[in-house]
Amino acid sequence: MSETVTITRLGGRGDGIAADGTPVPFTLPGERVAIGRAEGCGLLDAVLDPAPERIAPFCPYFMRCGGCAIQHVAPETYAGWKRGLLVSALSQAGLAVKPEALVDAHGAGRRRITLHVRNLEGQAEAGLMAARSHDLVAIDHCPITVPALHGAPALARALSAPLGHGRKPLDVAVTATEAGLDVDIRGHGPVEPGVRAALVRLAEAEGLARLALHGDVVVERSQPSVASGEVRLYPPPGGFLQATAAGEAALTALVLDALPKGAKRVADLFAGCGPFSLALARHAEVHAVEGEAAPLLGLDRSYRAAAGLRRVTHERRDLFRRPLLAHDLNAFDAVVLDPPRAGAQAQMRQLAESRVPVVIGVACDAGTFARDAAALVAGGYALERVTPVDQFRHSAHLEMVGVFRRPPRKRTGLRRPR
């Protein structure tokens, strides 16, 4: 049975929130809408009085696919909502700092996508999951990706054939690189030699740069790499890479802008395959720390191929279980860290006890960033500025760069007795 409600605000996931607190996806503040109800959520039946900010979504899968939450709002309102996610998180953590303006870093589109392949009625289908569901929404292409990825769903379906056409659920990660598409398939497990040979033939036929199973390279026809400023990055199979090239450039520029003048030694924690490390090495010696071996191999290759860089050392270390200690951190003039979505509580506690002059925190979750920032502030750091960066356009995901500075110790004017 349908009922009429009025939407009062946008929630943190992009849902409209009704006056009684019910989230209603795909609605906007000020709208009067007809809804049904299921499991505490409003199901939109009709928009009775649309808001002036409502626009037509550009994607034919919007409202079915769970990838985008908010294609239906005008750009200015969207930017205000997205920046507001960070404003709210900082306020809840008791941090009185006003974020900078939102940086649009969508660029040409997302350069990586993970597609799910499932067997539906005897046929392999590839797509994305519906919102808050494990139901597959089969797609022809994702319009927010770069053009090189528009054929990724068809590619995922083709690659599933030797693996049972999706009868065992598969996740197919596809990254657009300058050498071609880099594909890592997960969910199947070890394969027989005949299946492996079939995958090699498919990779050749599709012109893939590399094909891997769970990070194990099946065939590499050309080393996948992407340009990052004046160097090249070599991500491992299925390895982390910023979602957009524009996002990586924006984050790197913010990190470099915060680097203290005259800094001689910098630590890059959760370094991955090294985009920040290599950029920082134009200005200072860098010690890169990462928990996985494969990204460090890529970083080392990038460093050896580049010219004009200062010394870059690297260390494999689980920073969640074995954070760098305060006395180790004191050897650096600045520390950059870009942890996963869960944040870096253990490492932040050590930084809070250190005497590092500047900490540059890059994060992909406003809540964990605010939590970690509060720990640094409690340890005596000042959060000088924080800039939100939007490389996941139309979603509730947000990147940010915060600059923390430890005030210099005040001199008392007292002399030591002789």
Give the per-residue pLDDT at 204: 97
Give the per-residue pLDDT at 168: 92
* Beta-carbon-side half-sphere exposure of residue 247 (alpha carbons within 13 Å): 23
**How is residue 173 written in tokens?**
């990660």
Nearest to 402 by CA among 371, 364, 368, 359: 359
pLDDT tens for 345-373 read: 999 999 999 999 999 999 999 999 999 99
pLDDT tens for 303-341 read: 999 999 999 999 999 999 999 999 999 999 999 999 999
Query: How sure is the predictor about 415, in pLDDT bands with cuts at 50, 70 and 90?
Result: low
Question: Do the domains 3-54 and 112-220 sit in the same CATH topology, yes or no?
Answer: yes
Please state which CATH number belongs to domain 3-54. Answer: 2.40.50.140
- Contact (CB, 8 A) for 100 and 388: yes
Q: Cα 90 from chain centroid?
A: 19
User: CA 80 to CA 63: how far, in whole Å?
Assistant: 22
Please name the residue ranges forming H helices in 326-365. Answer: 326-329, 345-353
User: CA 343 to CA 350: how far, in whole Å?
Assistant: 14
User: In the chain, what are the domain boundaries?
Assistant: 3-54, 81-106+241-405, 112-220
Is the pTM higher than 0.85? The answer reads yes
Q: What angle do CA 84, 88, 93 make, to 5 degrees?
A: 150
* Beta-carbon-side half-sphere exposure of residue 41 (alpha carbons within 13 Å): 12
User: CA 295 to CA 277: how far, in whole Å?
Assistant: 12
Q: With a cut of 80, say whether residue 183 has pLDDT above it.
A: yes
- Contact (CB, 8 A) for 295 and 240: yes
Give the per-residue pLDDT at 251: 98
Average pLDDT, the chain: 95
Average pLDDT rounded to a whole number, residues 260-271: 97
**How is residue 256 written in tokens?**
């470099």
CB atoms within 10 A of CB 63: 17
Q: Which single residue is written with the structure tokens 């309102």?
A: 77
pLDDT tens for 75-127 read: 999 999 999 999 999 999 999 999 999 999 999 999 999 999 999 988 999 99
Nearest to 105 by CA among 395, 361, 418, 416: 395
Query: Residue 247: what residue type?
Result: G
User: CA 232 to CA 302: how far, in whole Å?
Assistant: 6
Query: How sure is the predictor about 26, in pLDDT bands with cuts at 50, 70 and 90?
Result: very high
User: CA 399 to CA 392: how far, in whole Å?
Assistant: 8
Q: With a cut of 70, say whether residue 416 has pLDDT above it.
A: no
The residue from 65, 142, 273, 364 that is catalytic is 364
Q: Between the CA atoms of 126, 129, 134 and 135, what dihedral angle is there, to the nearest 10 degrees? A: -70
Give the per-residue pLDDT at 133: 84
- CATH architecture type of domain 112-220: Beta Barrel (2.40)
pLDDT tens for 194-234 read: 999 999 999 999 999 999 999 999 999 999 999 999 999 99
Rounded percentage of the chain residues whose pLDDT exceeds 70: 98
| 81-106+241-405 CATH fold | Rossmann fold (3.40.50)
3-class DSSP state for residue 160? helix
- Contact (CB, 8 A) for 190 and 216: no
- Annotated active-site residue 364? The verdict is yes
Q: What phi, psi does 197 have (nearest 5°)?
A: -65, -40
Q: Between the CA atoms of 20, 23, 28 and 33, what dihedral angle is there, to the nearest 10 degrees? A: -70
